[in-house]
Amino acid sequence: MAITTYMLGDTSTTHAGTGTLTATTTALSGAGGSVFLSELTPGTVIIAAGQTLAITAAASNSAATLQTAPTTPLAGAAFTIIPMTLVTSIGADAVNPLGSYYAWIASKHLANGLERSVGRPRALWLWKNIAATARTALKLYCPGKSARVYICTLNDPSLGTYAAYQAAMIWPDSDNAYTPEFAIEMRDLVLL
């Protein structure tokens, strides 16, 4: 099963696991009574051998698949599990946003008539009508103007596919709780 919806996560809640990673493959093997089926759902983020990676599927309690292959192996060692929360479950009236994905921040015009992309990808999450409880729940992930978070977001609108990223969550300058339309920008997306 692939990542198929919007999710948010931060480092405030973590669990421990043990496993084995082989560099250049997307396989994660569990060790010592692993419970991958209950803890490693699609979109879950793990930190292992100094790398932040995302789970795309858990086939059994001891076998899972990563979104991207690690560059450093891990042999039967501990890793950190960062659970993700469905955006639709953050508040009583929460719904998924309308998502947009941009492959870069801006374009730079070159002297030869071509253009060059500048900056990492970004995403925009837009709610046409968001309940106050959902807006308050989102603010817990971004208590200031911005915060580093983990997200699962639409990454190819034409195919309807999603991917997990580390991102800078940017709270809007105008946070008028009486306006039903609300947008959050996710900048500096790094694929996990």
pLDDT tens-digit readout, 143-160: 999 999 999 999 888 888
Q: Quick check: 37 and 178 in contact, CB under 8 A?
A: no
What average pLDDT score do residues 71-78 get?
82
What average pLDDT score do residues 63-91 get?
87
Indicate whether 133 pLDDT > 90. no
Q: Tokens standing for 29?
A: 């093997």
What average pLDDT score do residues 96-121 get?
88
* CA 18 – CA 10 distance, rounded (Å): 20
What pLDDT is attached to residue 21? Answer: 85
* CA 88 – CA 95 distance, rounded (Å): 5
Indicate whether 55 pLDDT > 80. yes
Confidence at 117, pLDDT banded by 50, 70, 90: confident
Q: Using the structure block, give the residue that is written with the tokens 């994905």.
A: 101
Q: Quick check: 167 and 190 in contact, CB under 8 A?
A: yes
What pLDDT is attached to residue 93? Answer: 79
Q: What percent of the chain has pLDDT over 90?
A: 36
* CA 4 – CA 164 distance, rounded (Å): 10
What pLDDT is attached to residue 2? Answer: 76
pLDDT tens-digit readout, 22-35: 888 998 888 766 77
Q: Quick check: 44 and 54 in contact, CB under 8 A?
A: yes
User: What beta strand segments (E) does the chain contain?
Assistant: 7-9, 15-21, 27-30, 45-48, 51-60, 63-66, 74-82, 85-86, 98-102, 106-109, 115-118, 122-127, 146-156, 161-170, 182-191
**137: helix, strand or coil:** helix
What pLDDT is attached to residue 14? Answer: 67
* CA 26 – CA 67 distance, rounded (Å): 7
Indicate whether 104 pLDDT > 90. no
Domain at 7-84, CATH class: mainly beta
Domain ranges of the chain: 7-84, 87-191
What pLDDT is attached to residue 152? Answer: 94
What average pLDDT score do residues 128-154 get?
91
What average pLDDT score do residues 98-106 get?
87
Confidence at 173, pLDDT banded by 50, 70, 90: confident
Order of all β-strands in the sheet with 146-156: 85-86, 7-9, 146-156, 161-170, 182-191, 122-127, 98-102
